[in-house]
Amino acid sequence: MDIDTLAKGIGLFSSAITALRQAIELMPDGSKKSEAVAALQRAERAFKIAEAETAKKLDYELCHKHFPPEIMLSGDDTTWKCPICGNEKFTGLQVGSIPLS
């Protein structure tokens, strides 16, 4: 998997969602705007799920205290923290390390 291509794709999709959100804000209130808002919310949710699934396949930790799961961040690949709720997880293993048994 080409990580750079994946990262660019995620960035482009995120930019598209932002542009759509801005366009919807300019629409006059009414049923069409409500439909557009609902469609945007579904797209954002699907994007967050796809982002989390991709991160999991890349061995990142996910926070399961909310849905969709959020990608947890780490400075040392052993202690992970959710940027949304602050949940922390200690794995004791670095990404890509071989456990000793």
Contacts of 85 (CB under 8 A, 6+ apart): 63, 65, 66, 70
pLDDT tens, residue by residue, 40-79: 999 999 988 888 888 888 888 999 998 888 999 998 888 9
Report how many domains make up the chain: 2
Instruction: Quote the percentage of the chain above a pLDDT of 70.
Output: 89
- Is the domain of 37 the same as that of 68? no
Residue 57 CA: distances (Å) to CA of 1, 23, 27, 100: 11, 33, 38, 22
Check: CB of residue 80 under 8 Å from CB of residue 72: yes
Helices (H), 1-101: 3-26, 31-57
- Is the domain of 46 the same as that of 72? no
pLDDT at 95 over 60: no
pLDDT at 100 over 80: no
- Is the domain of 27 the same as that of 49? yes
Domain that holds residue 50: 1-58
- Is the domain of 7 the same as that of 53? yes
What's this model's pTM, rounded to 2 decimal places? Answer: 0.68
User: Which burial class, exposed, middle or buried, applies to 24 when counting CB atoms under 10 A from its CB (0-12, 13-18, 19+)?
Assistant: middle
- Is the domain of 51 the same as that of 6? yes
Q: Residue 65: phi, psi to the nearest 5?
A: -85, -5
